[in-house]
A and B are shown apart, each in its own frame.
Chain A
Amino acid sequence: MPGKSMNWRSGALLLPGLAFLAILFAWPVARLVATSFSDSAGAFIHYQRVFLDPIYVRVIGRTLLLSTQVAVLCLLLGYPLAYQLNRSGPLGKAVILLCVLIPFWTNLLVRSYGWIVLLNPQGIINGLLREIGLIDGAIPLVHNTTGVLIGMTQIMLPYMVLPLAAVMSRLDPTLPSAARSLGASPLAAFVRVYLPLTMPGVLAGLLLVFMLSLGFFVVPALLGGPRDILLAQLIEFNINSTLNWPFAAALSTVLLVATITLYWIGDRFFDLGRLWGTR
């Protein structure tokens, strides 16, 4: 375990990083939190707005719902992918990993505009559907929640596949065989043995994707509709358009606290620290 046998020499190696974090991260975050409480009308005035004004409650609710949907979609797509990844030979592994990671490494803007090209009413997908006569007009696939879901699921997929694959690779491959030899059908062997044993990966993936989705800005801004904005867009709006920084700071603090709480829950109750490499 790193950190336990640390002496002052190796401690000194941490100083540049710590200084960097303290000056450019910890201090601004502290200032941000302080800003959110500094108002002549009362320290909690902005938080009252966040949690009592139906408009903002709806934005928070929408953000939570969308993050949940992205997490679930990633699980449905990612579980079979991770399973196959774990079973494949070296070539198959490389192909699957590349398919999952190349979009992940691609510039966010490029990828988002790429989705617009594919999904817009005159785009490739709608054009194809019209061509084969499945539809007459166009299915609205972008500049709405559908577009955001598609774009975010794609970028979040690695955060689901990698922890799942890590758990699956550590699983004793004879366990499903043992279950079969003891009378379990393939489905029963999956439900009673494989799924429960890969649950830590499922929970890690769900939490990770959910947490990261809460604060997403670029994809919802480009692929989402003008009416159903999310928390990060609301923060941006308050900073750049209405210049209400204390309120933006309150929103940011809510997001920060939610993320830290989720991280703590995952670390404390689901032993996810091991999967994320912090333990």
Chain B
Amino acid sequence: MPGAAVQITGLNKRYGDFVAVDDVSLSIEPGEFVTLLGLSGSGKTTTLMAVAGLTEPDSGAISIDGRDILSLPPEKRGLGVVFQNYALFPHLDVFDNIAFPLRMRKWADADIRKAVERVLQVVSLEQFSDRRISALSGGQQQRVALARALVFEPPVLLMDEPLGALDRSLRDQLQTEIKRIQREFGVTVIYVTHDQEEALALSDRIAVMANGKICQLGSPDEIYERPNTGFVAGFVGDSNRIAVSMGNPEDQFRRVSAPAAPELELLALDRTEGNSGQAVLMVRPEAIEMSGERPDTDVNLLEARVELREFLGASIRFTLDTRLGPIHVRKGRSGPAAGFKPGNDIWISWSPSEGALFPPAS
């Protein structure tokens, strides 16, 4: 079955005084991979569980391919759910776990066998059919959970931090696999995670959530390159944060000054939406250029001394001491800047379009 469209409209859920989900609306295309990204308590899991039918929202509407599902119990919604801890049935073996949704649908035994074998092949677990769940590794359990949620070919797959319990290298491997399987089945995926790298790698679109609200919805590139709030900019990817006072507009930029070094000429994109006074200037560590000679510019230019050089494999992270406080810069292992060492006095600069201004509180 190809993926279905999911429409969430005005979803609300409170637990006592705590607002878990605050007027969330989200429209998901058939076959799309959408990630709800946020910290714990941001409402992402509650939203997912409301779609699954395992949490009853206070108000709002949820429909799949235009059909309202809110009044349906979870077993009638026909959605695949992968839980954070996998929620595999410990008293059943791998085959019976995966066959469970088909047995509930009263499939014939021969059809069940065929479908389970097919999906076991998709997740590369053909040899594990009669293993006990407790005899599987975490990654294998994750695949069984995925197979069980997909075997009945649901139009929508809901995943709640499915890789949260696994170590880094296994996560990378399973990420690729999840993406491949999603394409193969054409299923619509709503994916919940607090891991921004996972969200950036997997998603067609990301909804960044905080305090029960969606703060930004967009493609991974948009979210990373044009965050609309300081929270999103700080949460997705690393950022240098510099406290500044707002000055006058200049072309598409705005001039600002840093109280720590008022003579510096700083220009950045204004995303404060009309705020004046104080702001936070955010610059990505990889957007900052380092050079031994003074570059031919006056804008966003300052002197720095290399404090720390951390070798991270593919990249190198520098911690610089500047008049604006410590600034992080990330550079490729093979670039010209890779040779700088602690103690070197250098110049740093960045293009005005790589700096963005946000209201200080956000």
Interface positions of A (Cβ within 8 A of B): 172, 174-175, 177-186, 188, 192-193, 196-197
Contacts and interface: CB of A to CB of B under 8 A. Distances in A.
B73 interface: yes
Given A197-B90, A197-B91, A181 B81 contact: yes
Contacts of B100: 179, 182, 184, 192
B104 A188 contact: yes
B83 interface: yes
Given A178-B88, A182-B152, 19 more contacts: A172-B85, A172-B87, A174-B84, A175-B87, A175-B89, A177-B54, A177-B87, A178-B81, A178-B83, A178-B89, A179-B100, A180-B53, A181-B74, A181-B79, A181-B80, A183-B75, A184-B104, A185-B73, A185-B75
B52 interface: yes
A182 B150 CA distance: 10
A193 B96 CA distance: 12
Contact of B74 (A175, A177, A188): A177
A196 B91 CA distance: 7
B188 to A, nearest CB: 16
The residue among A178, A179, A180, A196 with the most chain B CB atoms within 10 A of its own CB is: A178
6 contacts: A179-B100, A181-B52, A182-B75, A182-B100, A182-B101, A183-B105
A197 B79 CA distance: 24
A182 B90 contact: no
A197 B91 CA distance: 7
B78 interface: yes
A225 B78 CA distance: 58
A181 B104 contact: no
Interface of B: 52-54, 73-75, 77-81, 83-85, 87-91, 100-101, 104-105, 148-149, 152
A186 B350 CA distance: 60
A177 B50 CA distance: 12
A18 B80 CA distance: 58
Contact of A183 (B78, B84, B85): B78
A183 B98 CA distance: 12
Contacts of A175: 87, 89
The residue among A175, A179, A182 with the most chain B CB atoms within 10 A of its own CB is: A182
Contacts of B148: 182
B4 to A, nearest CB: 16
A24 B265 CA distance: 94
Given A181-B75, A181-B79, A185-B75, A174 B85 contact: yes
A180 B53 CA distance: 9
Q: Nearest 10 pairs between A and B by C-beta?
A: A183-B104, A178-B87, A182-B101, A181-B81, A180-B74, A174-B87, A183-B75, A196-B91, A183-B101, A177-B54
Contact of A184 (B75, B84, B85, B88): B75
Contacts of A179: 89, 100
Contacts of B89: 175, 178-179, 193, 197
A183 B80 CA distance: 10
Contacts of A197: 89-91
A177 B82 CA distance: 11
A180 B75 contact: yes
Contact of B83 (A174, A183, A185, A193): A174
Contacts of A177: 54, 74, 83, 87
Nearest to A174: B87
Contacts of B101: 182-183
A192 B99 CA distance: 13
A193 B85 CA distance: 16
Contacts of A183: 75, 78, 101, 104-105, 152
Contacts of B80: 181
Nearest to A177: B54
